[in-house]
Amino acid sequence: MKKRIAAVLLLAMFCITLAGCSAKPEQGSAQPAAGGWEPLVSSSVEPASSAAATPEPAVQPTPTPSAKGEETPSAADGLGAPASQPEDVQPAPSAAEADDFGVTLYIGTKAGGFQEYPCTLEGEVTPEGLIQGIADLTGWDLTLAEPVATGKGGMSVCLAESSALFQGPIENQKDEFHMHSADQMAETVLDSIQKTLQEGFTGAGGNPDNIDIYFYMEGEQPLALSNIGFSWPLDQPYQWSAAQQN
């Protein structure tokens, strides 16, 4: 009996072994290799992506606003390029262009009005140059006893006693500037010098009357014209209407 049981078990084991050898291996199971058995990686498993596989785009820096709210210029914006000159700015004249200056001379009286005469002066415009321009234009002797003194808010003029202011009209005069009396001569000389200096040294938009003109005699004496009996105080700006009778 024991022998029969052993024979049955042996037959069963043989059948099982035979069935295992003839069975087709399933997908995903281990396959024999030349050097032995190797595990197979399941096809359903995705390979892990490397952190450096896809580089991230570099972050661009945001322009930092300046103190005025403008973006800081970059090299592409022309950093370091000289700023353009405003259109309204005019270039300074060269030495050759500055040799001659066009000015206006005013001949007449405040009461009767003035005639304007263009004049070209060589070199820098000065009070002495303007007064000499009047003398050259009219033929009057306007010799100065002293240089014109300029100060804050005004100028002081001292004509020589040999000038037309003290001597009156001469015999040979230019028809256009003919003076008929010492009074007319004095008023026209003083008013013309005053007006020309005020206009010549007043900036654009300024008021010529803000420049005070004083007349005096040598020795810092008040202007006194003995030939017409008029004088003017030394400490007050000149006005023909402020004349005092001697």
The angle formed by the CA atoms of residues 95, 100 and 104, to the nearest 5 degrees, is 140
State the pLDDT at residue 59.
47
Only one residue has tokens 């005469």, namely: 117
Q: Specify the pairing of strand 212-217 against strand 154-158.
A: parallel
State the pLDDT at residue 203.
85
State the pLDDT at residue 246.
82
DSSP state, 45? P
The reply to whether 69 falls in a domain is no
Cross-strand pairs, 6? none
Q: Residue 170 and residue 182: Cα distance in Å, rounded?
A: 10
State the pLDDT at residue 219.
94
State the pLDDT at residue 146.
97
The reply to whether 126 falls in a domain is yes
The reply to whether 71 falls in a domain is no
**110, two tokens:** 């405040």
State the pLDDT at residue 15.
60
Q: Which domain holds residue 109?
A: 100-245
The reply to whether 197 falls in a domain is yes
- Max CA distance (Å), the chain: 184
Q: Residue 136 and residue 114: Cα distance in Å, rounded?
A: 17
Cross-strand pairs, 213? 155
Handedness of CA 118, 146, 122, 150 (dihedral sign): negative
The reply to whether 47 falls in a domain is no
State the pLDDT at residue 6.
62
How many domains does the chain divide into? Answer: 1
Is the distance from CB of 164 to CB of 189 less than 8 angstroms? Answer: yes
State the pLDDT at residue 101.
77
The reply to whether 16 falls in a domain is no
Query: 3-state SS of 157-187?
Result: EEECCCCHHHHCCCCCCCHHHCCCCHHHHHH
The phi and psi torsions of 116 (rounded to 5 degrees) equal -100, 135
The reply to whether 56 falls in a domain is no
Is the distance from CB of 197 to CB of 127 less than 8 angstroms? Answer: yes
The reply to whether 160 falls in a domain is yes
State the pLDDT at residue 1.
55
Helix (H) or strand (E) holding 127: helix 127-138
DSSP state, 202? P
- From first to last of its 246 residues, the chain has per-residue pLDDT tens of 555 666 666 666 766 665 555 544 444 444 444 444 344 444 444 444 444 444 444 445 444 444 444 444 443 343 333 333 333 333 333 333 445 779 999 999 999 999 999 999 988 999 999 999 999 999 999 999 999 999 887 999 999 999 999 999 999 999 999 999 999 999 999 999 999 999 999 988 899 999 999 999 999 999 999 999 999 999 999 999 999 998
Q: Specify the pairing of strand 149-151 against strand 113-122.
A: unpaired
The angle formed by the CA atoms of residues 113, 147 and 207, to the nearest 5 degrees, is 40
Please report, to the nearest 10 degrees, the dihedral formed by the alpha carbons of residues 235, 238, 242, 246 taken in order: 70
State the pLDDT at residue 18.
59
